[in-house]
Chain A
Amino acid sequence: MSKKKEIDDRFKKFGTVSYTSLTKVNDFIDYLEEGKVMGTRCVDCGMVFFPPRADCYKCFSSNIEWFEVSGKGRLEAYSKLKYAPVGFEDDLPYFIAVLDYGDYKVFGRIASNVPDEEIKLGLEMKTVANKLPSGQLNYVFKKA
């Protein structure tokens, strides 16, 4: 599904500000465009990775396949930013958080329409692809 380009810099579309554009897991961006949040799995030894990786550190294989982050995770950590680093001022306020899926964890943002008072450790949430007003792509956590 990768589009042929001189320079495959699709990853520059990730997040409010992306700091890198070249990666072997650039297909992550195409999946996000399709509304899917994907991790990778090592075909040779079965290790599961999120965020996705091109290489398995356990068996040194680069034979990876994609899987969709689906089902429910539990909120394991979160905080609400009221002050932002350069480039993120317009996003304030926003939550960063970690969801625990058991086999792997996902770091990201909580969707802005989840009421503050409902956010607590253990809350069941799902990871959803998201398009920012600028056209950039990321993913957010919504109540499951």
Chain B
Amino acid sequence: MGKVAIIGVGQSAFVRGYPGSIRELAFEGFKEAVQDAQISVQDIDASIICSAPEYDKQRSPSGVFAEYLGLTPQPTFYLESLCSSTSMGLRMAYSLVKSGLHEVVAVLGFQKMSEISSAESQERMGRGADIQWESPFGTMMPAYYAMFAKAHMEKYGTTNEDLALVRVKSATYGQLNEKALFRKPVAVEMFSDPEHFMSGPVASPLCVGDCCANADGSSCLIVASEDKAKALSKKPVWILGLGAASASVNMSGRDSFTGLAVARQASEQAYKMAGVTQKDIDVAEVHDCFTISEIIAYEDLGFAKPGEGKDLIKSKETYKEGSIPVNMDGGLLSKGHPIGATGGSQIRTIVLELRGEAGEMQVKDPEIGLVHNIGGVGLYGAVTILGR
């Protein structure tokens, strides 16, 4: 069995209030990926459409997109794992290609969140948790992650300022990403200035500046068999390792509130499959849906010991010049988080980095990159390791 490659990547700009329908939004990411791969749509023999349901009215978007994108009569299907949908889509594409059932598969993630209000969106997202036993208490994603932030602070001494430093780094690189929603500089002082919107209350200890924003966007990955990749592509990026895990949806089933078991399990699997360790990773994208999430990701991935994630951001080791550059595209905090499109956007960034095409966001000569993509409150976790 041969290797499996990503031969094309694309994404739309991530925006608020996309002035079009979901099929038109999907077209933007798809077109860029097909053009990037320099293939024709007819080369694609299956498509996997990824998103979280209920943000728009369309049921079964796969058929609608397949028609709009010219992907009929090839098979198409829908995959959902909340915010990790596209990474799980990549996992499915890998197995479809590896099995020989298909040779070139498009993984297309999308989300149009601006058709509903922010509070309604929090309610939808909250229902990505346990609707029978938890949602009736009034839960939402920031509040769940705030529990992890508070536990991390009390156990390890992580501070609100440490969290703010994550957002400052995010903004440093988000400003360079023309597809990002937020492109303004951020200073730590904004978090303690009661007049500044960044310090607005959400769920303590997290404030507005600690949270990523809803967005509309699409992303697309073109996945190919080794033979097809060599025939069609000048710059294939190879899938070296894949890891995926799930956890108890109810918080009462969790062992720890200072880390995510799914991330530890998925990264162990991915490192093992790729035959590498965390020391071999030259550039990474982690799921910074909240500032605390990035610090916890450093620890779950082994970039830092438990409790020492804050030291990595304080010493700027995760900046471009540091030992392990993280989120060179600004991450979810700057790009915005169109749930189903996020994983594909993270993977796109690492593919561009490995090809040396990341422009101002380019780190020096990376050979191996990692993507950490989480669904829900550590409900699903996917880690992908890519190489040149």
* A contact residues around B253 at 8 Å (CB): 105
The complex places the Cα of A18 from the Cα of B137 at a distance, in Å, of: 9
| A79 with B136, Cβ < 8 A, contacts A104-B252, A120-B154 known | no
Write the chain A residue with the least CB distance to B201. A82
15 residue pairs of the A-B complex, CB under 8 angstroms, read: A16-B136, A16-B137, A17-B136, A81-B140, A81-B203, A84-B138, A85-B119, A85-B140, A86-B120, A87-B123, A96-B144, A98-B147, A98-B257, A107-B130, A107-B133
Q: Is the CB of A77 within 8 A of B252?
A: no
**Given that A82-B201, A84-B119, A87-B123 are known contacts, is A77 also in contact with B150, CB under 8 Å in the complex?**
yes
- Give the distance in Å from the alpha carbon of A89 to the alpha carbon of B123 in the complex: 11
| Residue contact B150 to A79, C-beta cutoff 8 Å | yes
| Contact A81 B138, beta carbon cutoff 8 Å | yes
Complex alpha-carbon distance, A108 and B204, angstroms: 17
Determine which of B136, B142, B144, B203 lies in contact with A19 in the assembled complex, contact meaning CB atoms within 8 Å.
B136
Q: Tell me, in angstroms, the Cα distance from A134 to B254 when the chains sit together.
A: 31
A89 contacts across to B, CB distance below 8 A: 119
Contact of B252 among A81, A88, A94, A106 (CB under 8 A): A106
B137 and A51 contacting across the interface, CB-CB below 8 Å? no
Which of A15, A16, A89 counts the most chain B CB atoms within 10 A? A15
User: Is B202 close to A, CB under 8 A?
Assistant: yes
Nearest CB of chain A from residue B131's CB, rounded to whole Å: 4
Interface centre among B130, B132, B142 (most CB of A within 10 A): B132
The minimal Cβ–Cβ distance linking A128 to chain B, given in whole angstroms, is 14
Quick check: A105 and B154 within 8 Å, CB to CB? no
- Judge whether B148 and A77 touch: CB under 8 Å: yes
B250 at the interface (CB under 8 A from A): yes
Contact (A51, B250) CB under 8 Å given A17-B136, A81-B140? yes
- Count A-B contacts at CB 8 Å: 124
Contacts of A96 in B (CB 8 A): 137-139, 143-144, 147
In the complex, the 9 A-B pairs of residues with the closest C-beta atoms, listed nearest first: A15-B136, A79-B146, A88-B138, A82-B201, A85-B123, A105-B252, A77-B257, A77-B147, A51-B133
Q: Is A78 within 8 A of B136, CB to CB?
A: no
Q: Is the CB of B154 within 8 A of A121?
A: yes
Given A77-B151, A105-B252, A121-B151, A82 contacting B204 (CB threshold 8 A): yes
Give residues 171-196 of B contacting A (CB, 8 Å). none
Distance between B32 CB and nearest chain A CB, rounded to angstroms: 34
Alpha-carbon separation in the docked complex, A121 to B133 (Å): 22
A83/B202 contact (C-beta < 8 A), A15-B137, A77-B151, A96-B139 known = yes
Residues of A near B203 (CB, < 8 A) are 79-83
A67 at the interface (CB under 8 A from B): no
Given contacts A50-B252, A77-B147, A79-B150, whether A84 and B136 have CB atoms under 8 Å apart is: no
- The answer to whether A86 touches B151, judged by C-beta atoms less than 8 angstroms apart, is no
The docked-state distance in angstroms from the alpha carbon of A19 to that of B126 is 11
Does B122 count as interface, using CB distance less than 8 angstroms?
yes
Interface string of B111-134 (1 = CB under 8 A from A): 000000101101100110011111
Q: Which of A36-85 contact B (CB under 8 A)?
A: 50-51, 76-85
- Within 9-33 of A, Cβ neighbours of B (below 8 Å) are at 11, 14-20, 23
Residues of B within 8 A of A85 (CB): 119-120, 122-123, 126, 138-140
Q: Does B245 contact A (CB under 8 A)?
A: no
Contact with B along A92-103 (1 / 0, CB 8 A): 001011100000
Chain A residue with Cβ nearest B127: A19
Q: Contact: A80 with B127, CB < 8 Å?
A: no
Cα-based distance from A76 to B155 in the complex (angstroms) = 11
Contacts of A108 in B (CB 8 A): 137
Task: Report B85-131 residues with CB < 8 Å from chain A CB.
Answer: 117, 119-120, 122-123, 126-127, 130-131
Complex interface: chain A residues within 8 A of B135 (CB): 15, 17, 19
A79 to B148, CA, bound (A): 9
B276 at the interface (CB under 8 A from A): no
Contacts A15-B137, A87-B138 supplied; 6 other A-B pairs, CB < 8 Å: A15-B135, A77-B147, A79-B144, A87-B123, A91-B138, A105-B251
Instruction: Say whether A107 contacts B136, CB under 8 Å.
Output: no
Which residues of chain A are near B150, meaning CB under 8 Å?
77-79, 121
Q: Cβ of A81: which chain B residues have Cβ within 8 Å of it?
A: 138, 140, 143, 202-203
Q: Which residue of A lies closest to B155 (CB)?
A: A121
B257 and A76 within 8 A (CB): yes
